[in-house]
Structure formats: structure tokens, C-alpha cells
Amino acid sequence: MKNLIKTVINKQKSFFNSKETFNVDLRIQHLLNLKKEIKNNEKEIELALFKDLGKSEGESYLTEIHFVYSELKIALKNIKKWTKRKSVRSSLLNFPSSDYIIAQPYGNTLHISPWNYPFQLSIAPLIGAIAAGNTVVLKPSEYSEHTTEVLEKIINNVFDEQYVKVIKGGPDVATELLNYNWDYIFFTGSVNVGKIVAKQAALHLTPTTLELGGKNPCVVDESASLKVTAKRIVWGKFINCGQTCIAPDFLIVNKKIKEKLIFEIINQLKLIYGNDPEKSDSYGRIISEKHIKFLSSLIQDQKIIYGGKINEKLRYFEPTLIEIKGFDSKIMEQEIFGPILPIFEYDKFDEVDDIIDKYKNPLALYIFTKNKRLGENFLKKHSFGGGAINDTVVHIINDRLPFGGIGNSGMGKYHGESTFNTFSHFKPYISKPLWIDIPLRYPPFKTKINFLKRVLKLM
Ligand code: NAD
């Protein structure tokens, strides 16, 4: 493995140094080929996602394949515009000058991805990296092995290894990769591993995007329309079996409507997944037995109000609602990342602010309310990655919205143009003629200072 990694990195370094990736037509051609190859392999991708996570065809298309097509579409449509040198107004002190910004690729980039949306979380960053002119080594998760096989096949059919290479393996391989001096690292995964990545990156001062996780609170105030609220919570929480980084982790519900909301949530669960979700085509599976065991441990000694059925061998975990009275249990001290929804009731809204402060900087924050001002103020005053009023998860759909965390939930942002920007250094320069040289900036200043001050005031 060490030799393979070394060879690939050397090849990618030479390739980037050859400046071939500076050719925007080469980037476009590869993105078009990538799109074609994904199209040719749609069925295989869906099957792999089914094997890894029990995802239905509809869910795979909506949350993984279509997502990637839309990133490809926006990149292909805008790449010429994004890569064009931009002129900006020059400064009076520099007169005369022409001032520009050029998007320069970082160079050799390393991408490490997780297992929960193993296709789109591997391909979406790659699209931006290629559009911006970089090379990529992609290390997908060891858990989503079927999707990794298809990813590798697609990448091999589109790119030479000097341009993009999938390197398979677990933490040991990622650790080895992180020993090298990359020009950019894009990591998606847990907070703990994010810290390891950041530490390694710091050794070479490598710029890094960290797309991490956390506990995402979801508040429901007494004015919310309960049917639609329940429907949107159920959708965001139980899609992909709760294994979604921006899924609502737990609910904070006004005590006046708690019982009614729980009733509606159970209703919606039955409508969407039927009385026995194990038999539903639309309900997924937990990624591994290890993860099932962890989730089971979280509901020990908890008050289960709905669900709780588990089949370890089949990696099935029923949508489960639990009632909590405080925040000092194991389930409230870490990200759940599974189909368990703790519900906490509040009396006065001030309590909600304290809870949100306790889970500072979540990746996502949601509030359901008919009181628009309350919703807007709530999202304005708290710090979080991204969020929504009266919905969950859907802010990820709009590629014009940058996606990423803050503090513990990560750093950097991507999607749409933000991905291109992430993988570009915006290089400024100015160009001046030699035929004129205004003496104002040169010492001695004694005779010019008053005039200089007047000029600077004009700016
Ligand atoms: P993880 O951190 O365990 O693994 C992610 C990747 O890091 C994998 O490829 C893995 O092989 C690698 N890795 C594991 N240990 C490593 C180590 N010691 N050194 C270097 N690399 C290592 O995360 P996961 O379990 O695959 O994914 C779940 C986590 O990812 C959750 O916390 C979730 O919230 C987060 N996530 C975040 C986003 C986002 O966009 N912010 C998206 C999806 C998942």
C-alpha cells in the first residue's frame, strides 16, 4: 500500500506540475465523461447503495445520484465564467493600474469521505476540485464497500491515476495518506477524526475543509402546524435511517403540544413506512453490526415511547422515539446518527436558548413556528452551520447555499460555486505601465504630505 500511495502521489505531482490541468477544456471534457460514466452505471450505483445501506431506488436517486448531476450541471454551465480572470477597480494610490483576480488551483488534493452518503459525498467535492484544476486522491469509507467498488470503477474509466485515483482502505490507509504534504485536504466525517486530520494538516500548513457532525437541535413551538411539522421531521430524521449529518438529532417541544406532536409523528411514521418498517421498501438499514450495537446501547434505560425493535443480523433498527427529561445521559452527550429521536419538553422559550447554547455550533438548527419573527430571531442569534424555519435537511438541496459547519461542526463550505471556490486560491495581481510614475508614494514626504492626505481622503 505504501508503495502504491507513493507512486500515485509522485505521478499526480508531476501531472499537476506539467500545468495540463490549467487547460479548462481538459477539465470540462473529464466532467462530461464523468457524467456519462455515472449515467452508464446508475443501476450499479443504486444496487451498491442498497447493499451498503438498504437505500431504495428513489432515495438513492434523490439524495445521491441527482445531487451529483446537479453539481455537475452547475459546474459545467459556469466553469468558463468561474475560471475567467476578473477585473476589479484599482486603487487611486496605484494609478494607473489594472487589477485582477485569477482562480488558481491548489494542486494535489486529498479527499477522505464517510459511508452515510458514500456516492455523493465522494463525488460532489471531486467535481469542484476538478473544475478548479486540481488532482485528487479519494479515500472512501471502508464501511460502504459496495459503493466504493462502483466509485473506483467509474473513476478509473474517466481519469488516469495521475489525475484522480481512488485508494481504498480504513484508518490505517488514511493515516498513511495524511503523512504526505498535500496542497489541500477535504475531509468529511466525525469530529474526532476531523481533529486528527487538522493536526496532520497543520504539520504542512495545508488548507483544509472539515465537514463534520454533531447534535442538531430541532425546536417546535406551540404555534406550529403539527401535521406538516411531523411529516417534515419524520422525513429529515428517518431518511437514510437517521444516518444523515444534518438530520435533527433531538426535538425540543413546547409542553402544550408535545403529546399531539408525538401522535402526529407516529401517524406519519406509519403512513410513510407502514406498521412494520422492516418490510418497507423505503426504510434503510444501519451501515454495520458495530453501529447497530452502538445505537442499541444508546436506548438502554431510556423511556421508549415508540419503536425500539432491532434485528442486529439484518442491520434493522426501527424508527424509535424516546422521551427525555434532561441532558446528562449518554444519548444526549454525543451525535446519535441513527433512527432514534429523543424528545424533550420545554415550558418557556428561554429554556430553549440555554439548551441550544449547550450544544453550541451544531451543523444544523431547525425551528418550527408560525411566528415568523420568532423563527428569524432564533436563527439570527444562534451560531450553526446551516438551518431552516419550518423544515429539516432541505437547505442542502439549494446549490446556491454554501454548505458547511462552524466550530466543532467543521470549517469551510462547498456545493455549487462554493466548491469551486474551496478548491481555488484567488490570486490577486496588478499590472502597471512603465511610462508614468507618480511620485506621491515615494519619500521624502515632507513636501507632499498635505497633498497626500487630501488625496487619501478622496479614496
Ligand atoms: P469517520 O470520521 O469515522 O470516518 C470518515 C473517514 O475518515 C473514513 O474514510 C475513515 O476511513 C477515515 N478515518 C477513520 N479513522 C481515521 C483516522 N484515525 N485517521 C484518518 N482517517 C480516518 O466518520 P464516519 O463514521 O464515516 O461518518 C459519520 C460522521 O461523519 C458523523 O459524525 C457525521 O455527522 C459526519 N458527516 C458529516 C457530513 C458533513 O457534510 N458535515 C456528512 C456526512 C457525515
Backbone angles phi, psi at 320, to 5 degrees: -130, 130
Nearest-atom index, ligand 1, CA of 114: 26
Ligand 1: residue whose CA is nearest its atom 37: 212
Ligand 1 center–CA 185 separation, angstroms: 14
Rounded to whole angstroms, the Cα distance separating 459 from 103 reads: 27
141 lines ligand 1 (CB under 6 A): yes
Ligand 1 center–CA 139 separation, angstroms: 11
Alpha carbons within 13 angstroms on the beta-carbon side of residue 328 total 0
Ligand 1 center–CA 96 separation, angstroms: 51
Give me the pLDDT at residue 436, please.
93
Count other Cβ atoms within 10 Å, centred on residue 182.
Answer: 23
CA distances for 6 relative to 9, 47, 133, 158, 342, angstroms: 5, 33, 21, 22, 47
Q: Mutation test of ligand 1: which of 190, 291, 337 has the most ligand atoms closer than 8 Å to its C-beta? A: 190
Give me the pLDDT at residue 185, please.
98
Q: Mutation test of ligand 1: which of 188, 249, 396 has the most ligand atoms closer than 8 Å to its C-beta? A: 188
Rounded to whole angstroms, the Cα distance separating 36 from 28 reads: 12
Give me the pLDDT at residue 448, please.
87
pLDDT average per 10 residues of sequence, the chain (459 residues): 94 98 98 98 98 96 96 98 97 92 98 98 98 98 98 98 98 98 98 98 98 96 97 98 98 97 98 95 96 96 95 95 93 96 95 94 98 96 97 95 97 97 98 92 89 80
DSSP output for 242-282: G--TTS--EEEEETTTHHHHHHHHHHHHHHHH-S-GGG-TT
pTM of the model: 0.96
Rounded to whole angstroms, the Cα distance separating 390 from 232 reads: 8
Give me the pLDDT at residue 338, please.
98
190 lines ligand 1 (CB under 6 A): yes
Going by C-beta distance under 8 Å and a sequence separation of 6 or more, which residues neighbour residue 25? none
Nearest CA to 77 among 66, 85, 69?
69
Ligand 1: residue whose CA is nearest its atom 12: 171
Ligand 1 center–CA 302 separation, angstroms: 27
Distance of CA 153 to the CA centre of its chain: 24
Angle between helix 145-158 and 24-40 (nearest 10):
130
Question: Burial level of 26, CB count in 10 A (0-12/13-18/19+)?
Answer: middle
Give me the pLDDT at residue 451, please.
85
Rounded to whole angstroms, the Cα distance separating 458 from 442 reads: 19
Give, in words, the CATH class of 217-397: alpha beta
Q: Are 361 and 355 in contact (CB under 8 A)?
A: no
Backbone angles phi, psi at 415, to 5 degrees: 95, 135
Ligand 1 center–CA 182 separation, angstroms: 19
Give me the pLDDT at residue 236, please.
97
Give me the active site residues, please: 211, 245
Note the CATH architecture for domain 2-212+407-426: 3-Layer(aba) Sandwich (3.40)
Instruction: Locate the domains of the chain by residue range.
Output: 2-212+407-426, 217-397
Backbone angles phi, psi at 186, to 5 degrees: -115, 110
124 lines ligand 1 (CB under 6 A): no
Q: Are 342 and 355 in contact (CB under 8 A)?
A: no
Nearest-atom index, ligand 1, CA of 117: 43
Rounded to whole angstroms, the Cα distance separating 59 from 49 reads: 10
Nearest-atom index, ligand 1, CA of 193: 2
Strand partners, 352: none
Query: For 283-319, b where at least 16 C-beta lie within 10 A, e where not — what string?
Result: bbbbbeeebbeebbebbeebeeebbbebeeeebbbbb
Rounded to whole angstroms, the Cα distance separating 258 from 325 reads: 13
Give me the pLDDT at residue 321, please.
98
Backbone angles phi, psi at 226, to 5 degrees: -75, -35
Degrees (nearest 5) of the Cα angle 280, 124, 181? 130
Ligand 1 center–CA 110 separation, angstroms: 14
196 lines ligand 1 (CB under 6 A): yes
Rounded to whole angstroms, the Cα distance separating 88 from 428 reads: 10
